[in-house]
Amino acid sequence: MAEKILMKGNEAIAISAIRNGVDGYFGYPITPQSEVMETLMKEKPWETTGMVVLQAESETSSINMIYGGASCGKKVMTSSSSPGISLMCEGISYIAGAELPCVVVDVMRGGPGLGTIQPSQSDYNQIVKGGGHGDYHNIVLAPASAQDMYDFIDWGFDLAFKYRTPVVILADGIIGQMMEKVELHPMKPRRTAEEILKAAPWATTGKTADRERNIITSLSLDADIQEKFNRKLQAKYAVIEENEVKFSEYLTEDAEYVFVAFGCSSRICEAVVDGLREEGIKAGLLRPITLYPFPEKEIARLATQVKSMMSVELNLGQMVHDVRLAAGGKCPVGFYGRQGGNIYTPEEISAEFKKFNGLE
């Protein structure tokens, strides 16, 4: 039986990186995700797997170290929280433009600005719509448990290399700080030089006589070439949207009302659904696990089944726009949110739900 360990979501990120053969982590401390680098420093993976762990002088610096490492075909990652992620967004845009794989973890806190250090989900728009400049997307994964934090590292790198794109694990202060049981999977060794050549034939690993030069750049001064490149990116996103959508549903089969919530909010909404079911109200929950690509087809289908939907988010209304777009006017879509690091209780959400649906 696999070993089960009690750990914080942040610790799970670090342990998973070591156990899944990540080559390098470059970061800068910020609450509520500082345990990621603290755990890596404590575990000293450079003595075991050879993984590099480095505290850079800033977030701008760490994301550019990611750019460098990814250019060489290495599995590299960073983590930060909202204000730090804002500093990284230029680099993330360059990485998307250079078609490089990497994993970025954002453990969100209250914003805007320096904001608060308590949990929030207010970076949805920023991360799901890109973050940096240009016509690009990140693949965005939304963990809801410490086990997800552990599992999404491996899944994230798979997607990042499959599509040569940045993958963002969009967590929040609750998922980062909460301890839960985590099951460790067997170790995956770091890739050998030969394996890197196979997994990343585009990487700058040193030109050999039998091939053309590999060039990593996001600069293209010719408008036609740039437009052609952007169309290629969009074609890639179409494939991602077709194949990589992931969501989970709770009691939606006979539901007359559906909540849509991700991350910690989906956990809280499960309790809301249970409470409403006890009162005889047929409620259910759709949890997007990928925020980009978004489960729009499933929301469109549910919109024809239910009386209404409600998006519940720790922000003042971001994902709700994507829910409304997907529902296409087939049912009313309400919203409830809290901000600044405040967290809603199941009772509070339930009361808002009843108010919205005239069920008081």
* Contact residues: another protein, CB under 8 A: 4-6, 31-32, 116-118, 173-174, 177-181, 264, 267-271, 274, 341, 343-347
Please say which residue, 33 or 126, places its beta carbon nearer to another protein: 33
- Beta-bridged to residue 183, according to DSSP, are 4
Least Å from the CB of residue 322 to another protein: 24
The candidate with the shortest Cα–Cα distance to 183, out of 154, 156, 141, is 154
Contacts for 270 with CB less than 8 Å, ≥ 6 apart: 250, 285
What is the spatial distance between Cα 333 and Cα 95, in angstroms, rounded to a whole number? 35
Q: How far is the CB of 92 from another protein (least distance, A)?
A: 27
Distances (CA, A) of 41 to 44, 45, 46, 191, 219: 5, 8, 9, 21, 36
Nearest distance, CB of residue 250 and another protein, angstroms: 9
Beta bridge mates, 4: 183
Residue 168, phi then psi, degrees to nearest 5: -110, 130
What pairing do the DSSP bridges indicate for beta strands 283-288 and 247-250?
antiparallel
Min CB(4)–another protein separation in Å: 6
Which of 332, 346 has the CB closer to another protein?
346
Shortest distance, position 119 Cβ to another protein, whole Å? 9
* Closest separation in Å from C-beta 347 to another protein: 7
Question: Cβ 200 to another protein, closest distance in Å?
Answer: 38
Q: Which of 170, 210, 214, 169 is nearest to 73 (CA)?
A: 214
Q: Please answer whether residues 263 and 172 qualify as being in contact, where contact means their C-beta atoms are separated by less than 8 angstroms.
A: yes
- Residue 183 has phi, psi (to 5 degrees) of -95, 125
> How far is residue 251 CA from its own chain's centroid?
25
Nearer to another protein among residue 32 and residue 69 (C-beta): 32
Considering the complex, state which of residue 285 and residue 333 has its C-beta at the smaller distance from another protein: 285
Q: Shortest CA distance to 217 belongs to which of 199, 206, 204?
A: 204
Q: Which amino acid is at 32?
A: P
Give the nearest distance from C-beta 270 to another protein in angstroms.
3
32 versus 73: smaller Cβ distance to another protein: 32
Residue with Cβ nearer another protein (311 or 350): 350
Question: What contacts 129, CB < 8 A, 6 or more positions away?
Answer: 137
Integer distance in angstroms from the first to the last C-alpha of the chain?
Answer: 49
Strand-pair category, 179-183 with 4-8: antiparallel
Of residues 139 and 273, the one with the C-beta less far from another protein: 273
Compare residues 168 and 178 and give the one whose CB is closer to another protein: 178
